[in-house]
Amino acid sequence: MQLSTFLIISTVGRVPGTLMAILQGAKASDEHYKILLILLGISALVILISWTYHEKLHHFVKSLK
């Protein structure tokens, strides 16, 4: 894998998780617990969908080459 490809994939892959962690931390420190629970629910849903369709997602990403 080329370095440029690796950097693009790793950056795109990390940004959503980092953004969600920042949002959750900000809401927890501001004591906005309702929004925090909504964000945690969205995170759990995305994780569940990703886990359920892991093979299909893997094959889709491999087909992009």
Q: Residue 57 above 90 pLDDT?
A: no
Q: Residue 60 above 90 pLDDT?
A: no
Cα separation, 65 vs 56, whole angstroms = 15
pLDDT band, residue 64 (cuts 50/70/90): confident
Cα separation, 43 vs 37, whole angstroms = 10
Q: What is the pLDDT of residue 6?
A: 85
Q: What is the pLDDT of residue 13?
A: 85
**pTM value > 0.85:** no
Please answer whether residues 36 and 43 qualify as being in contact, where contact means their C-beta atoms are separated by less than 8 angstroms.
Answer: no
Q: pLDDT tens across 7-50, in order?
A: 888 888 899 899 999 999 999 999 999 999 999 999 999 999 99
